[in-house]
């Protein structure tokens, strides 16, 4: 079995080659570019190269300038000569794409700490942001949680502006079309004079002037605040935010702050990086983070939908493991919601500052469907079952994290100040954490497992948000999975579970769209490029996970006996391999749309299993839903 002895599941989480490239660049900064691991990471980079040169941010994608510049430079630092045919070819592709000055802010910082780009031309990330109070429009808590965990360590790095000087032969002037050391804007200004982009560019220049001429005690105090924040977020976490980018920036920042390589803080930070590595034969690759709570919750849902009993050892161990991971301490989210009791679940092994709405919803559904959300020993007078305290807390936390627009986001409430996307360092397309249809529908589906359905005011507001965000073609965009297939699937099963009439026009438009994009093989597939070009929605190589999503959505809409569903089910049956799994090399998970995509190695297993189980239930007998007797209030106040 794939299940670990303690009850959890975790598949590999695969990103693009920026992970291996940034690892090599970091090791070079630390003076460790000669290590065997660096050579192996270089070998992996070479394997992932596009046939015509350059690197993409997902399999089959076009050359990506940021991914390619980092990969080229990493290979050069790992000992690959610029005269090699594959290096010359990659260089040519990078130059055709506009050269290294076209990279985003985060790539430029990597080039800057190795002396290949001036800090003066990088976006300012001043630690003085730590002074800004939470009530201001711009402050670190007005950013998405993942951006906050990146920006605070990066501000320490930026304040010190470290450089490791390398020999000229390890430079990359060949990747620039012009002199990279001449004065450049951090990002291009707009042609119109009075825009938010130009406003923030002017602010960037003021900050840089202040760094030279302003009083030094202010910067010193800001560094202390950022340092304290970063070190505090080591607690109960596998690195700041438990994700790769802030782990790297933490290591650089600790180096800047004078922490020795054998200090407890540096040992801790380097261990988090080492834990993400996968060494195989002569290659090394890194994961962006771990996904055990997510994989376990989805596996539990798949087993429960497949009628696996709650007392089955696999189910029992999984539920016990998940309940042990409940968050019971305040986190960043609580600063804007001080009266809300901690609850919920995170994504990784340890990340107590950042429970997220998506994982919490999926865990609660898994616990409900397996029967583990209820206290079997204390049925009420009506014969219904009591909800156990962790589930009660999780539901309350979800309910109170609803945004003002009626939807739900990933980590926080109302992180939707669109103006902040114009800040020069916001070019990673992930500055905000707005409501999205897929998470909103998942929360609605979760509440439905506990009898909270259409007619409850906050569910109704969620349904209204989903209705407003439907694409004119009938589909919904997917924020956390690729893409319109993911969003449309989740909306359909969420609304059906929530008790919406599935004959409504918006539902029938979604059904028509899913049938329209079904491919000749009977399956469905969608490329990551549909984020860049919405006309590609629902088109791409067929994959098991995306086929499963489309099937589940159609089944929820009452189409279980349709020809489209029968053909889709047959596709899954025909493509299942001898091990019971499916093959899926494509990336169907989304990190940051247009920037970073993911391949969850277990998506090819538990999503097809769920779809087939739903098909069996829809064409046979449905399992009974456990009853509950918790009296939810008709509404809960929104506190800011």
Task: List, in order, residues 6 or more apart from 31 with CB less than 8 Å away.
Answer: 164
Cα gap 173→156, rounded to integer Å: 27
Measure the CA–CA gap between 134 and 336, rounded to whole angstroms.
8
Q: Is 358 a catalytic residue?
A: yes
Backbone φ/ψ region at 445: left (φ over 0), alpha (ψ -120 to 50), beta: alpha
Of 573, 510, 529, 528, the residue nearest 547 (C-alpha): 573
The alpha-carbon radius of gyration of the chain (Å, integer) is 25
Burial bucket for residue 118 (CB in 10 Å: 0-12, 13-18, 19+): middle
146/143 Cα distance (integer angstroms)? 8
Which residues lie closer than 8 Å to 594 by C-beta, 6 or more apart?
429, 531, 532
Catalytic residue among 16, 358, 359, 405: 358
Which of 416, 384, 410 lies closest to 398, judged by CA?
A: 410
CB-count exposure of residue 202 (10 Å: 0-12, 13-18, 19+): exposed
Residues ≥6 apart with Cβ < 8 Å to 537? 471, 473, 475, 483, 484, 517, 526, 530
Tokens at residue 63, please? 């050359």
Token digits for 386?
């009591």
Partnered with residue 213 across adjacent β-strands are none
| Interhelix angle 313-324/292-305, nearest 10 degrees | 140
Beta bridge partners of 592: 596
SS3 299: helix
Question: From start to end of 218-366, where are the E strands?
Answer: 277-280, 283-286
Question: How many CB atoms are closer than 10 A to CB 550?
Answer: 28
Instruction: Spell out a b/e string for 44-67, using b for 16 or more CB atoms within 10 Å of the CB, else e.
Output: bbbebbbeebbbbbbbebebbbbb
Point out the residues that are catalytic: 358
């Amino acid at each position: 079995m794939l299940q670990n002895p303690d009850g959890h599941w975790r598949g590999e989480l695969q990103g693009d080659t920026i992970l291996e490239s940034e690892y090599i660049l970091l090791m070079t900064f630390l003076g460790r570019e000669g290590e065997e691991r660096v050579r192996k990471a270089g070998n992996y980079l070479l394997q992932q190269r596009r046939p015509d040169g350059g690197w993409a941010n997902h399999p089959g994608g076009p050359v990506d300038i940021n991914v390619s510049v980092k990969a080229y430079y990493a290979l050069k630092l790992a000992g690959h000569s610029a005269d090699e045919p594959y290096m010359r070819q990659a260089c040519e592709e990078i130059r055709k794409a506009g050269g290294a000055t076209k990279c985003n802010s985060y790539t430029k910082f990597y080039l800057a700490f190795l002396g290949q780009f001036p800090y003066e031309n990088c976006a300012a990330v001043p630690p003085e942001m730590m002074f800004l109070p939470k009530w201001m429009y711009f402050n670190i808590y007005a950013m998405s949680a993942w951006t906050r965990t990146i920006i605070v360590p990066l501000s320490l790095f930026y304040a010190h502006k470290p450089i490791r000087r390398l020999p000229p032969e390890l430079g990359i002037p060949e990747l620039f079309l012009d002199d990279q050391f001449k004065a450049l804007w951090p990002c291009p200004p707009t042609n119109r004079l009075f825009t938010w982009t130009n406003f923030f560019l002017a602010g960037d220049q003021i900050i840089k002037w202040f760094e030279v001429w302003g009083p030094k005690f202010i910067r010193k105090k800001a560094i202390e605040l950022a340092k304290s924040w970063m070190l505090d977020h080591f607690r109960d976490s596998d690195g700041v935010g438990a994700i790769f980018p802030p782990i790297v920036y933490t290591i650089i920042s600790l180096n800047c702050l004078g922490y020795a390589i054998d200090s407890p803080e540096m040992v801790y930070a380097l261990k988090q990086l080492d834990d993400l590595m996968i060494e195989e034969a002569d290659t090394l690759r890194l994961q962006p983070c771990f996904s055990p709570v997510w994989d376990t919750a989805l596996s539990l849902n798949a087993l429960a939908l497949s009628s696996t009993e709650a007392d089955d050892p696999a189910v029992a161990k999984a539920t016990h493991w998940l309940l042990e991971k409940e968050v019971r301490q305040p986190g960043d989210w609580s600063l804007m919601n001080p009266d809300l009791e901690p609850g919920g679940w995170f994504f990784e092994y340890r990340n107590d500052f950042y429970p997220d709405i998506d994982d919490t919803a999926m865990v609660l559904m898994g616990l409900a469907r397996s029967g583990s959300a209820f206290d079997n020993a204390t049925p009420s007078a009506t014969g219904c079952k009591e909800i156990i305290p962790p589930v009660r807390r999780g539901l309350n936390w979800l309910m109170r994290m609803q945004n003002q627009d009626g939807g739900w986001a990933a980590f926080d409430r109302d992180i939707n100040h669109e103006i902040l996307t114009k800040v020069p360092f916001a070019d990673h397309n992930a500055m905000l954490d707005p409501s999205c249809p897929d998470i909103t529908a998942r929360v609605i589906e979760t509440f439905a497992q506990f009898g909270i359905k259409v007619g409850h005011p906050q569910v109704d507001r969620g349904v209204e948000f989903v209705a407003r965000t439907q694409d004119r073609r009938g589909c919904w965009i997917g924020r956390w999975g690729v893409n319109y297939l993911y969003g449309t699937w989740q909306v359909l099963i969420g609304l059906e579970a929530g008790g919406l009439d599935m004959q409504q026009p918006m539902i029938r438009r979604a059904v028509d769209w899913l049938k329209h994009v079904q491919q000749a093989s009977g399956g469905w597939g969608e490329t990551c490029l549909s984020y860049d070009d919405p006309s590609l929605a629902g088109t791409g190589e067929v994959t098991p996970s995306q086929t499963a999503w489309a099937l589940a959505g159609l089944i929820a809409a009452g189409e279980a006996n349709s020809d489209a569903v029968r053909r889709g089910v047959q596709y899954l049956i025909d493509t299942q391999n001898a091990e019971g799994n499916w093959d899926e090399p494509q990336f169907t998970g989304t990190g940051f749309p247009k920037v970073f995509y993911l391949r969850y190695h277990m998506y090819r297993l538990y999503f097809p299993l769920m779809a087939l189980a739903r098909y069996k239930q829809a064409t046979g007998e449905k399992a009974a839903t456990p009853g509950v007797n918790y009296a939810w209030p008709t509404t809960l106040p929104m506190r800011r």
